[in-house]
Amino acid sequence: MGPVQGRAQALARFPGFTLVEVLVVTCVVALLFGVALDRMLRYQELAERTAVELNVAAMNVALTSKFSALLAGGRGELIEREVGANPVALLARPPENYLGELFAPPQPPTPRSWYFDRQAGDLVYVANRNRFLTVSGQAAESLRFGIVLPPAGARRDGLRELRQPWVQPRAPYSWVID
């Protein structure tokens, strides 16, 4: 038996795929790729949301430390000066995607970046992935934060109440990723 006959017999034992089989395999691979891509984008948005929350938490910790230092020094009333200030200035180092203090938003907005809007007194985060982000019931591309003081509560014992400031969103937002 020669080389040509051996090849013909081998091909006869292992026939090729039919067109239907190739289409089915292609559809299954495309479906799996689509599901994997959707999961990857979902996890990227989840990571972005977590990074935003961690940065805001770090600013709140820094603000609490400053508040505690002012209280310990007997200058608790000076904390009211922080309202409208840039909370990033309280951090030991700003986030690596912080653009600085700007008078106008960058055009076009830089995704995944923070900047302080000097005119409004807001810290702004421009989202990169915002499929699940809604601000006050509508889709949004950015989140605005600011230092706020809670309203003074009336105390029955007549003592003066010191209000602790917090970095809070200017508008309620929901970034729920299932």
- Is there a domain that residue 123 lies in? yes
**What is the domain range of residue 108?**
14-175
- Is there a domain that residue 8 lies in? no
Query: CA torsion sign, 55 to 59 to 60 to 65?
Result: positive
pLDDT, average across residues 57-86: 87
- Is there a domain that residue 139 lies in? yes
Q: What is the pLDDT of residue 7?
A: 64
> By the 8 A CB rule, do 34 and 41 touch?
no
Q: What is the pLDDT of residue 82?
A: 83
Mention every residue, 6+ apart, whose C-beta is less than 8 A from residue 156.
none
Q: Put the strands of the sheet holding 133-135 in their side by side order.
A: 138-139, 133-135, 173-175
- Is there a domain that residue 3 lies in? no
Strands (E), the chain: 98-102, 113-117, 122-126, 133-135, 138-139, 142-148, 166-169, 173-175
**Rounded to the nearest 5°, which phi and psi values hold at 28?**
-65, -45
Encode pLDDT of 108-131 as tens digits.
888 999 999 999 999 999 999 888
- Is there a domain that residue 97 lies in? yes
By three-state DSSP, how is residue 152 classified?
coil
Q: How many residues does the chain have?
A: 178
- Is there a domain that residue 22 lies in? yes
Encode pLDDT of 129-170 as tens digits.
888 888 887 778 889 999 988 877 666 676 666 778 899 999
> By the 8 A CB rule, do 120 and 147 touch?
no
> What percent of the chain is modeled with pLDDT above 90?
46
Measured CA to CA, the distance from residue 94 to residue 87 in angstroms comes to 10
- Is there a domain that residue 1 lies in? no
- Is there a domain that residue 164 lies in? yes
Number of structural domains the chain divides into: 1
Q: What is the pLDDT of residue 88?
A: 93
